[in-house]
C-alpha cells in the first residue's frame, strides 16, 4: 500500500523504549515503521519525539448537560491541542443509564468531537439488573460512587458487591469513586453545625480516612467478585498501598493517578478555596509524601493516568460559598504537558508517560492496539513534541471553556508541536484545527 503520509526522522517513544524510525501511514493506520522512503506527504520530525496519542479515560465534558461549564467542541479542542486523541467521557448530571440513553447521547454527539471517544455509564443501585444490556450496547465502563456525589446516589457495600458480581459475569469494567458515605456525611453535619465556611473544611469533610475506608472496601469486594475495577483518582501513597495489597491477593484493581495529586498540595486548598475544590482533595503535605507518589507512579503501583477533567469557569467557581462551589478542575489542556515536563526533568521516563497515559488505559478499556500504540495496524494517532521547547501556561491559552488553569504561571519543558488523529492533523502549535472528525468507540462488550 502506498503511504499517504510519512513521518521522517523522529524519535518514536513507546511504553518499553525509544528508537529513531520513520512512520508510514495509509488510510489512517500505521502501515510501516523503520527506515522508509519519503512517500506521500512528508513530515520532517528530526529532533522531535513521536508519541502515540494519549488516551484519557476519565473526562467530563457536560454535553449534553451543563454546557455552560464545558461542551464537546471546547473540551475536545483542548484535548487535541495538548496531545490527547482518545477520551472516555461521562457526565454526572446527564447520565447514561440505559441503552436508549447511550443511543441518544451518541446521536447528539455526532460531529461534535475533535478526538475519538468512548462513553461510560453511571450506575444507580436499582439499575444493577440492567447492566448486561448496557454493556452489550457499548458503554466503556460503569461509573460507581460509594458516596452520594454530584447527584449520583452512593452504593453501599452490599450494592457494590452485587454490582461487581454482575460485572464479573460478563467481564465488564468499572471506575469507582471511593469515599465512605457515613464518614463524609457525619463530617459534613459536624462542620456545618460548627458554622465552618473556611476552605480548610474541605480536607476534613472529604477526609483521608473516608477515602481509605472506601478503597479498602471496594478492593476487598473486587477481589472476592473477580471483577475488573479501576479506583478513580487515588490521592495519596497510603491509598495506593492498599490497592497494591489487594492486587497481591489477586484482585484485578487498578489505581488511577491524576496530575492534581502530584502537582498541588494540601496548603493550596486552604489558600485558593473554590479554585482547588475537587474531591478527594489534594492531600500532599510534605516532600517525603510527594516523593512516595512519584515512586508509586514510576514503579507500577499506579496503573494509569487520567485527568478527571471537570471544569468550571472562574465565575462559576467563585459564586456562592465554599460549600456550594462546584467540584472539579480543568485538566485536558495541561496533563500531558505536566507529565512531559516531569519526564524531561528526570522524575520519570518518557516511556512511563506513554505507558501510563496511552498504552495501559487503552489496554484496560479494550482499545489496544488500535489506540495507545504505534505498531503496524494501529490507528495513526500520534503527537509530535519538541523536547527543547517550553510552554508557559496562561489562562488566555486554555482552550477548555474553563478559561483558567491551576497551573497558570508555570513553565513546562517540552512543547507539543502537532497532534494527528488517524493520520490527519487535528492540532498544531497549541491550536485545534476543528475538523470534528472524532468517532465513537464502542466498549469491549459491544454487540454492534
Please state the closest distance from residue 308 (CB atom) to Zn ion, in A.
4
User: 32 or 144, CB closer to Zn ion?
Assistant: 144
Rounded CA separation 135/207 (Å) = 33
Please state the closest distance from residue 327 (CB atom) to Zn ion, in A.
9
Strand ranges (DSSP E) for 35-167?
41-44, 49-52, 54-59, 84-89, 116-119, 121-122, 142-145
Tell me if 31 sits within 8 A of 5, measured CB to CB.
Answer: no
Helix-then-strand count for the chain, H and E: 15, 18
256 binds Zn ion (CB under 5 A): no
How is residue 274 written as a grid cell? 473554590
Residue 104 CA: distances (Å) to CA of 63, 101, 439? 12, 5, 15
User: 175 or 222, CB closer to Zn ion?
Assistant: 175
Which residues are paired to 117 by β-bridges?
A: 87, 440
Residue 322 CA: distances (Å) to CA of 268, 269, 318, 330, 385? 14, 11, 9, 18, 39
Please state the closest distance from residue 92 (CB atom) to Zn ion, in A.
8
Instruction: Count residues binding Zn ion (CB under 5 A).
Output: 1
Please state the closest distance from residue 216 (CB atom) to Zn ion, in A.
20
Please state the closest distance from residue 28 (CB atom) to Zn ion, in A.
30
User: 52 or 443, CB closer to Zn ion?
Assistant: 443
Site for Zn ion in 290-309 (CB under 5 A): 308
Please state the closest distance from residue 61 (CB atom) to Zn ion, in A.
11
User: 14 or 330, CB closer to Zn ion?
Assistant: 330
Tell me if 305 sits within 8 A of 342, measured CB to CB.
Answer: no
352 binds Zn ion (CB under 5 A): no
Sign of CA dihedral 187, 188, 190, 195: positive
> For helices 208-225 and 237-248, what crossing angle results, to 10°?
10
Please state the closest distance from residue 256 (CB atom) to Zn ion, in A.
10
Q: Is 98 helix (H, G, I), strand (E, B) or coil?
A: coil
Please state the closest distance from residue 185 (CB atom) to Zn ion, in A.
20
DSSP 376: T
Please state the closest distance from residue 60 (CB atom) to Zn ion, in A.
6
Nearest to 437 by CA among 424, 418, 448: 424
CA 38 to chain centre: 36
Nearest to 63 by CA among 131, 124, 119: 119
* ∠ Cα 229 231 234 (to 5°): 160
Strand ranges (DSSP E) for 202-243?
228-231
Site for Zn ion in 305-344 (CB under 5 A): 308
Half-sphere exposure of 65 (CA within 13 A, CB side): 24
How is residue 337 written as a grid cell? 504537558
User: 82 or 122, CB closer to Zn ion?
Assistant: 122
User: 308 or 381, CB closer to Zn ion?
Assistant: 308
User: 63 or 308, CB closer to Zn ion?
Assistant: 308
Name the residue number minimizing CB distance to Zn ion. 308
User: 235 or 415, CB closer to Zn ion?
Assistant: 235
Please state the closest distance from residue 344 (CB atom) to Zn ion, in A.
28
Please state the closest distance from residue 164 (CB atom) to Zn ion, in A.
19
Rounded CA separation 231/252 (Å) = 11
The distance in angstroms from the start CA to the end CA of the chain is 29
User: 262 or 420, CB closer to Zn ion?
Assistant: 262
User: 141 or 382, CB closer to Zn ion?
Assistant: 141
User: 89 or 308, CB closer to Zn ion?
Assistant: 308
Residues forming the site for Zn ion (CB under 5 A): 308
Amino acid at each position: 500500500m502506498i503511504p499517504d503520509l510519512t513521518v521522517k526522522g523522529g524519535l518514536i517513544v513507546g511504553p518499553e523504549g525509544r528508537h529513531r524510525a520513520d512512520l508510514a501511514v495509509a488510510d489512517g493506520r500505521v502501515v510501516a515503521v523503520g527506515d522508509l522512503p519519503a512517500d506521500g506527504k512528508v513530515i520532517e520530525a528530526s529532533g522531535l519525539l513521536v508519541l502515540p496519542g494519549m488516551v484519557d479515560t476519565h473526562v467530563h465534558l457536560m454535553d449534553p448537560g451543563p454546557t455552560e461549564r464545558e461542551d464537546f467542541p471546547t473540551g475536545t479542542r483542548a484535548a487535541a491541542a495538548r496531545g490527547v486523541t482518545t477520551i472516555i467521557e461521562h457526565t454526572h448530571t446527564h447520565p447514561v443509564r440505559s441503552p436508549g440513553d447511550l443511543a441518544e447521547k451518541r446521536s447528539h454527539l455526532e460531529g461534535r468531537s475533535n478526538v475519538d471517544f468512548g462513553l461510560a455509564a453511571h450506575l444507580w443501585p436499582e439499575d444493577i439488573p440492567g447492566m448486561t444490556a448496557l454493556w452489550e450496547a457499548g458503554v466503556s465502563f460503569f461509573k460507581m460512587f460509594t458516596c452520594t456525589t454530584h447527584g449520583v446516589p452512593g452504593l453501599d457495600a452490599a450494592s457494590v458487591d452485587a454490582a461487581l458480581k454482575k460485572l464479573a459475569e460478563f467481564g465488564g469494567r468499572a471506575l469507582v469513586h471511593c469515599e465512605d458515605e457515613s464518614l463524609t456525611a457525619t463530617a459534613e453535619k459536624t462542620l456545618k453545625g460548627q458554622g465552618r465556611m473556611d476552605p480548610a473544611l474541605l480536607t476534613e469533610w472529604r477526609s483521608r480516612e473516608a477515602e481509605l475506608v472506601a478503597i479498602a472496601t471496594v478492593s476487598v469486594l473486587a477481589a472476592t467478585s473477580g471483577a475488573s475495577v479501576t479506583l478513580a483518582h487515588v490521592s495519596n501513597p497510603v491509598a495506593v498501598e492498599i490497592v497494591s495489597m489487594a492486587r497481591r491477593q489477586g484482585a484485578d484493581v487498578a489505581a488511577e493517578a491524576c496530575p492534581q495529586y502530584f502537582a498541588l498540595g494540601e496548603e493550596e486548598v486552604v489558600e485558593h478555596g473554590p479554585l482547588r475544590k475537587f474531591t478527594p482533595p489534594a492531600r500532599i503535605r510534605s516532600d517525603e509524601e510527594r516523593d512516595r507518589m512519584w515512586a508509586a507512579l514510576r514503579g507500577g503501583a499506579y496503573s494509569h493516568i487520567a485527568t478527571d477533567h471537570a471544569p468550571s469557569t472562574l465565575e462559576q467557581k467563585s459564586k456562592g460559598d465554599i460549600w456550594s462551589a462546584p467540584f472539579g478542575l480543568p485538566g485536558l489542556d495541561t496533563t500531558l504537558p505536566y507529565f512531559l515536563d516531569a519526564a524531561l526533568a528526570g522524575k520519570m521516563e518518557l516511556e512511563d508517560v506513554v505507558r501510563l497515559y496511552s498504552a495501559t488505559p487503552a489496554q484496560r478499556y479494550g482499545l489496544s492496539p488500535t489506540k495507545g500504540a504505534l505498531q503496524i495496524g494501529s490507528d495513526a494517532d500520534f503527537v509530535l513534541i519538541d523536547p527543547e521547547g517550553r510552554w508557559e501556561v496562561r489562562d488566555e491559552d486554555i482552550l477548555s471553556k474553563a478559561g483558567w488553569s491551576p497551573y497558570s504561571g508555570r513553565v513546562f519543558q517540552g512543547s507539543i508541536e502537532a497532534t494527528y488523529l488517524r493520520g490527519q492533523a487535528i492540532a498544531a502549535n497549541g491550536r485545534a484545527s476543528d475538523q470534528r472528525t472524532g468517532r465513537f468507540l464502542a466498549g469491549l462488550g459491544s454487540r454492534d
